[in-house]
Structure 1
Amino acid sequence: MPEIEKLSDVCKLLGDKMRLTILSLLKERELCVYEIVELIQTSQPNVSQHMRKLKAGGLVKEAKKGQWVFYSLNIEDKPFLHEFFQYLPSQKENVNAVSCKDLNCCD
């Protein structure tokens, strides 16, 4: 039953539009919180709340670079998600249009 419980928790995380959007952005590349804020046009506390849930659920990992935190996908150990992620719409154009340098945040 623990495997069913884990899968249920992942499905709950994926069931939120904001979190699913964040995951589709992270599918393209590692992003800082301010890039995510810019891309989804919401507040930094809102993004941080969703990131906390995604991290607790094991779907994202964070890396600190100086005082900045960067997020990336963490689904290598979840093969059941690999095919699912292929169906997420590409966010490449949107992600490529935003950078820390342009936002003057993490450089």
Structure 2
Amino acid sequence: MDTLKIEMDKAALILKLLGDKTRLTMVKILENHDCCVCEFVEIFKMSQPAISQHVRKLRDAGLVGEERKGQWVFYSLKKESDYYPMVQDILQHLPNQDYKLKELEEQGLRISCC
């Protein structure tokens, strides 16, 4: 079976991006849920510009895709990415982060921008 191999420098870039705990947690959340920046602002207690920078880096690397719904943009893990198999291997070793979204729902803040 011939599996897709990615270049060493591209793999290093992806691993560097995922070396940041905030971005790694974002990717783990996006594994199962689409989110908008406002939700990440609440989850991470960070400013909107800081969250947008993290999302932009993930998007620019091709790990995250975006979909506009009205005036809001929702982000999701780009499962068709060449890097997805490597990312998926990493994510399977991490604890589930769904509780963070459940806490938002309980606070009435899930998809608060919509």
* SS of equivalent to 1:71: strand
Q: Write the distance in 2 (CA, Å) between the matches of 1:57 and 1:37.
A: 21
Superposed CA RMSD: 2.0
* SS of equivalent to 2:68: strand
Counterpart in the other structure of 2:95: 89
Q: Write the distance in 2 (CA, Å) between the matches of 1:98 and 1:32.
A: 13
Name the count of aligned residue pairs: 105
Q: Supply the AA of the counterpart residue of 2:30.
A: L
Counterpart in the other structure of 2:33: 29
- TM-score (ref. length: structure 2): 0.81
Counterpart in the other structure of 1:52: 56
Which residue of 86, 90, 103 corresponds with 1:80?
86
Gaps of 5+ in 2: 1-5
Q: Does 1:106 align with 2:113?
A: yes
* SS of equivalent to 1:18: helix
Q: Write the distance in 2 (CA, Å) between the matches of 1:74 and 1:59.
A: 5
- TM-score (ref. length: structure 1): 0.86
Q: Which has the higher helix share?
A: 1
Which has the larger displacement, 38-47 or 84-93? 84-93
Gaps of 5+ in 1: none
Identity %: 45
Q: Write the distance in 1 (CA, Å) between the matches of 2:74 and 2:91.
A: 20
Q: Supply the AA of the counterpart residue of 1:33.
A: V
Q: Write the distance in 1 (CA, Å) between the matches of 2:80 and 2:96.
A: 19
